[in-house]
Amino acid sequence: MLGVKIICVGKLKEKYFNDAAVEYVKRLGAHCKLEIEELPECRLPVNPSVADVEAALAQEAERIELRLPANAAIIAMCIEGNMLDSMQLSAMLQKFAAYGKSRLCFIVGGSIGLHDRIKNRADFKLSMSKMTFPHHLARIILLEQLYRGFKIAEGSKYHK
């Protein structure tokens, strides 16, 4: 069974996001061995300088790097990544598995994004849209799309 780890910067605080995450984690349990790890988001001053933002991103990158699973395909969620439709995401999941990657690690940055070091280390950069989403919502969208991708691969009618 494919192992999927999602590293998220920031914790889900809103009940509605948490409820949605719990539902998709439950659904995904039949399709993969899922692990979600939340890391604390660095606090920034009210009007952060470029140096403040860079330092925070670097600190978050260090925390992320310590938790990357060995031999996993790393997928960085970032706006400058490749946009895939649901069928293409499903094919990507299958492709990684077919090429011997039994573990995938998706990285969802915090409100200030991901450090370039993490993006450059990624095997694939994935963008959900040209639009910007709150990072908590991005996590829920990712969970749903992973579930949809597995359902597409099995030929289910979930994907319409």
- Per the DSSP assignment, residues forming a β-bridge with 131 are none
> pLDDT tens digits for the chain (160 residues)?
889 999 999 999 899 999 999 999 999 999 999 999 999 999 998 899 999 999 999 999 999 999 999 989 999 999 999 999 999 999 999 998 877 778 999 999 998 999 999 999 999 999 999 888 888 999 999 999 999 999 999 998 876 6
What do you get for the CA distance between the two ends of the chain, in Å?
25
Domain 3-153 has CATH 3.40.1280.10: yes
54-35-103-122 Cα dihedral, nearest 10 degrees:
-10
- Round to whole Å and give the CA distance between 117 and 130: 22
Q: Put residue 72 in one of left, alpha, beta given phi > 0 → left and psi -120 to 50 → alpha.
A: beta
